[in-house]
């Protein structure tokens, strides 16, 4: 990659990956899986949409985060840790205090766990958090932050793997090995082997959502995103074999759908190993397919791209709170499922855009939403 060359397809991929979250969470009211709020009637289409995208959407976001870490390290250098703290932990703490409680309030209202006003609910909210907690695990990131657990995960991941990603910039055994594996297609699949092993090892005992098993699985995608920026050959291979990854993703996803929920189990160690391999291969194939497709189709600039890219973090932090508040009132109506979904999606998107127009103009809000402070001069 040439110095200062702008890879526009990475910006588009980032915008589309985070934009998908609006569709995903707007559909969560209507699937059969557990979530904060639910519509009375469910939809098979919602099950398919949520089930399919759940297998790779966060993997893609962590892959893009690895890419972003590569560029952040190059630009920030000595101020990198401070920058990551400001961009990730400050918004995370802000979200815990002001954006998460409304989500829990409406969840409690719909489930008849609470019937009072929000001011009454918030007085007992901290006590409730401490009474029912997951213990000394990474699940605290979701227990406190709900959907913004990603910010805390990414910060921890960045600290853990910082020595590793710095090491590959120097000539050593690790960097030479990665360069060697980038020579052919089979080298791309080396990365999934340790993830399959950790799945088999950790998932039976750490299988809860946002456990160590999830952390190490997302870590691989984070590291792969970083490695792909260091070694150009990986990107060229993915672009060349884009549609092979589409075929692998489609085949493995079909296998998973037809064998759910057995795909998450195994009567023997061999079956467990095979099932874990298929699940990881599915996630990996879809991430590489979208990455390759973006290289082929999206490497162009637009006057809107920079604005969209700048607003991603505030949109991500806000979106689920806005969706839940609006969805609470929409699902209580007698409208059809499709109508409810479209109302929730469009109204929450417009509302978030309007809120963002305020955030981007106020430096105090820009700071707590992880944006750069404006220089008034």
* Residue whose C-alpha is closest to residue 20's, from 28, 30, 9: 28
pLDDT tens for each residue of 194-240: 888 888 888 877 777 888 889 999 999 999 999 999 999 999 999 99
Q: Residue 2 burial by CB count (10 A; 0-12/13-18/19+): exposed, middle or buried? A: exposed
Whether residue 130 lies inside any domain: the answer is yes
Cis peptide before 261 (omega within 30 of 0): yes
Whether residue 154 lies inside any domain: the answer is yes
- The pLDDT, as a whole number, for residue 327 is 98
- The pLDDT, as a whole number, for residue 270 is 84
Rounded to the nearest 10 degrees, what angle do helices 8-27 and 44-54 cross at? 140
Whether residue 139 lies inside any domain: the answer is yes
- The pLDDT, as a whole number, for residue 4 is 65
Whether residue 223 lies inside any domain: the answer is yes
Whether residue 3 lies inside any domain: the answer is no
Regions of the chain where pLDDT drops below 70: 1-4, 266, 376-377
For 213, 222, 329, the CA distances from 162, given in Å and listed in that order, are 20, 12, 44
Rg of the Cα trace of the chain? 21
Residues 6+ apart with CB under 8 A from 80: 72, 73, 162
- The pLDDT, as a whole number, for residue 333 is 96
No. of H helices and E strands in the chain? Answer: 19, 0
Whether residue 43 lies inside any domain: the answer is yes
pTM of the model: 0.95
Look up the domain containing 57 and give its range: 8-368
Whether residue 373 lies inside any domain: the answer is no
Number of domains in the chain: 1
Whether residue 164 lies inside any domain: the answer is yes
* Torsion sign over Cα 328, 117, 351, 363: negative
């Amino acid at each position: 990659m040439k110095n200062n060359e702008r890879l526009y397809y990475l910006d588009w991929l980032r915008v589309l990956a985070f934009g998908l979250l609006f569709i995903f969470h707007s559909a969560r009211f209507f699937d059969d899986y557990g979530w904060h709020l639910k519509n009375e009637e469910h939809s098979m289409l919602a099950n398919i949409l949520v089930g399919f995208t759940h297998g790779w959407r966060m993997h893609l976001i962590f892959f893009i985060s690895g890419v972003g870490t590569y560029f952040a390290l190059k630009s920030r250098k000595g101020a990198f840790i401070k920058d990551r703290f400001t961009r990730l932990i400050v918004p995370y703490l802000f979200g815990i205090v002001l954006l998460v409680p409304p989500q829990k309030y409406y969840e409690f209202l719909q489930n008849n766990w609470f019937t009072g006003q929000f001011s009454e609910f918030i007085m007992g909210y901290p006590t409730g958090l401490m009474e029912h907690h997951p213990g000394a695990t990474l699940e605290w990131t979701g227990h406190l932050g709900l959907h913004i657990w990603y910010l805390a995960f990414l910060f921890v991941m960045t600290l853990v793997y910082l020595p590793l990603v710095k090491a590959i910039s120097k000539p050593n055994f690790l960097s030479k090995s990665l360069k060697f594996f980038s020579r052919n297609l089979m080298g791309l699949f080396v990365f999934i082997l340790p993830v399959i092993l950790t799945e088999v090892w950790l998932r039976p005992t750490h299988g809860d959502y946002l456990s160590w098993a999830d952390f190490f699985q997302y870590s691989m995608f984070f590291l792969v995103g970083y490695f792909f920026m260091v070694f150009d050959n990986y990107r060229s291979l993915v672009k060349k074999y884009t549609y092979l990854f589409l075929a692998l993703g489609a085949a493995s996803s079909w296998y998973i759908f037809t064998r759910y929920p057995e795909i998450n189990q195994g009567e023997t160690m061999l079956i467990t190993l095979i099932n874990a391999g298929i699940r990881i291969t599915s996630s990996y194939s879809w991430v590489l397919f979208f990455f390759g497709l973006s290289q082929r189709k999206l490497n162009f600039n637009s006057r809107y791209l920079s604005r969209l890219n700048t607003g991603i973090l505030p949109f991500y932090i806000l979106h689920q709170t806005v969706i839940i508040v609006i969805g609470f009132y929409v699902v209580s109506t007698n409208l059809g499922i499709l109508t409810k979904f479209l109302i929730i999606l469009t109204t929450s998107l417009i509302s978030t855009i309007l809120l963002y127009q305020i955030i981007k103009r106020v430096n105090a809000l820009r700071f707590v939403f992880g944006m750069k402070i404006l220089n008034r001069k």
